[in-house]
């Protein structure tokens, strides 16, 4: 089993509300750097996960997703 040493950025409730919130469409890739993902980001193709939930987006990731 894997345990992260960096600590959680969001509570489970906060993460679920961020996904299910009616007005939340999410930031554009240019605004996403430094924010925490509430859901998995999987560009297609190739269909390989780029970001997992509760992971902070560093600058190379939004650049890749553009």
- Tell me what pLDDT residue 41 has: 84
pTM score of the predicted model: 0.52
Main-chain phi, psi angles of 15, to 5 degrees:
-65, -45
What is the Cα–Cα distance from 7 to 21, expressed in whole angstroms?
24
Would residue 1 count as lying in a domain?
A: no
Instruction: Quote the domain boundaries for residue 53.
Output: 10-66
Residue 59 sits in a domain whose CATH number is 3.90.100.10
pLDDT reading at 40 higher than 70: yes
Would residue 44 count as lying in a domain?
A: yes
Number of domains in the chain: 1
Q: Can you give the C-alpha Rg of the chain in angstroms?
A: 12
18 Cβ contact partners less than 8 Å away, ≥ 6 residues apart: 10, 24, 38
Would residue 2 count as lying in a domain?
A: no
Would residue 4 count as lying in a domain?
A: no
pLDDT reading at 56 higher than 80: yes
Would residue 65 count as lying in a domain?
A: yes
């Amino acid at each position: 089993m894997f345990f992260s040493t960096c600590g959680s950025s969001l509570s489970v409730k906060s993460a679920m509300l961020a996904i299910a919130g009616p007005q939340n469409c999410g930031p554009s890739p240019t605004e996403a750097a430094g924010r925490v993902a509430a859901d998995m980001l999987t560009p297609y193709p190739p269909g390989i996960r780029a970001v997992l939930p509760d992971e902070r987006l560093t600058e190379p990731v939004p650049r890749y997703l553009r």
